[in-house]
Structure 1
Amino acid sequence: MKKLSDIKQLKLYLWLGAVFLCLHLISYTVQGESDLPFRSINETWLVLYLTAANCWLLEYNVPKLSWRKPFRSILRLLAAVFIYSMGLFIWRQLGVTLHIFHPLGAPIEISERLSILTGHSASSIFFFALVRHIFNHIKLKQDAQQLRIASQQAELNYLKSQTNPHFLFNTLNNIYSLARDKSDLAPESILRLSKILRYMLYETSGPYIAIEQDLKIIDDYIALEKLRYDETLRVSFNHDLENMKQSLPPLLLIPLVENAFKHGVSETRDRPFVDIHLAIKDRQLLFIVKNSTGDPAGENKTKANIGLSNLRRQLELLYTDYSLEVQQEAFVFTATLKINLATHV
């Protein structure tokens, strides 16, 4: 991991060196210099040195400066001053000796040459440090964003891992009730449960699924629940979808349906019912689940349960524009979910 980071930093400095060189060549072109080919070679030779010097200064030297070690810090600063002044002058002379660097114009005093080269070094430090700071700031924000996304995805997976076993636990309880009563409907209930399990195992691993797939599972779950009740239970499930292939996070809607049976119909003694309506138009989802309850309006507060709690948190992680409202009336409980599907994060 450290080597990978070092390679990325090296690429950054090579890129900065190339940009710094281009800026100088552009300035010579604007000034109308006639000896541009030779100046290009000279600047390339100097920029090679300055790129290495800035990499050393910003990545190795500056991070090790400390008020707790003043002597070492002073030595490092003196070394930096030497590298950016006399060091660059020596590098230039080496290029002249190797016939790489071509002196242009009239000869000048060494002190003046040092002054010019030092100014050249100072401009490179400012450029490299500024761009490096901007680059690292952007990279830090991107890393933080990636970490936030990974954290949210981990939490979302955890919520799903809670919801699915909770859903299956309630379903197994239903089958247990049928088996205990030696009902002939027990085999059918097991068959429907196997379809739900197959769906959970093989179809819900991805972030999205076609809404028609979830509708089939809701139908199977409703049929499974109806096996426990006689003909007094009335269930209505209607939907108005402009596109059956509309994508939706898998099993997002099932907690409200499950809640209607577990905390509503199962506690209703007289004329139990569940009315479910689903509509999606222009990527606006409306899901209303209304069910009978055993409590008069205002007698008991709406009970919090793992299904609704997890659903609220999943919605927070998945969408920026949504609402989930629950309302308790006289022996009737209504849950209304609205989602702007275009606001998926």
Structure 2
Amino acid sequence: MAGELSKTLWRIVLPVLFGVGMGVWLVRRDIDIETLRSINLDWRGAIGIALALLFVIGRDFGLAWRFHTIAAGDLTWRRAVRTDIMCAFTSAITPSVVGGSALAIFYLNREGISLGRATTLTLTTLFLDELFFVIFCPLIALFVPMADLFAPGAMAGNGTDMFFGGVEVVFWLVYAGIVIWTAILFFAIIAKPQATQRVIGSLARRRFLKRFRAKLETVAGNMVATSKWVKGRSRKWWINVFGATVLSWFSRYFVVCALFFAFVPDVSQILVFARQFVVWVVLMVSPTPGGSGISEWLFTNYYGDLIGNLGVAAMLAIVWRILSYYIYLIAGCTLLPGYFGNKSNK
């Protein structure tokens, strides 16, 4: 237990150091007295901060609603909220390519859901998240000009063109990966689960995968079970769980819109919202825990052309990370002892 707790503490400390280090670097590089004076804390600022906090709640309500719905009454609202917070905490201390889904099975099982069913529910939520991006990213690209999403505008020059070009390339590469992964999940879970089970079973019999045979067969069995379960869901159920998914992601993006409303009101809210899709897709391949360091740097440079002042952009990046990252580190730390304190949970 002591070893596991020590390992978890290191996973908390490292991303905090990354994030704080980048925050200090941004403050030293971009923020000065004139920057602070340019930020007006008036009624608009107060309303914007209040809206940002409301959208943080909306994000968690959406995910808790989804957990509560897919568990079909076996997960109370309180347990659903706790599961959501712990998944967000996991996302904060693991590389973005891992995310909170990796331990969602454990958290659901901890809340009283059987291990097999927890796997089924986790695969379903994973599919819903990927489907959200597959559907909405093309819509954003359709209604928002590419020149607005990936052009440096007023801050062209000094390597900015190269930065935006790199962001565009990474965005479309990651999006292509999301589409492929979603297609695989759709095929494996909904369209042809038995065929997927046979393919995995065939692979498991290969000599170099023999040691993983039991685990691979378990995964295949879980996919078949998930398929049978999701095919039995009603249209209303799908509308509810996908609606909860959309609410959660939109609320996450509206946090930044609220910050711009508070401190940079002249910028197009539609463009601010659209660029959040780009930010979160790019951060999916961040190698640092919770995107620490990279998130602050990406936000400052990507939104800097809209703001026109890198100092103000850095300030907003720090506030954004507090609302979207550090609060979940703190909340997760308060719940963490309960997951290690009970011997039956080891």
TM-score, normalised relative to structure 1: 0.22
Higher percent of residues as strand: 1
TM-score by length of structure 2 reads: 0.22
Greater relative CO, 1 or 2 (CA 8 Å, sep 6+) = 2
Highest CA radius of gyration, 1 or 2?
1
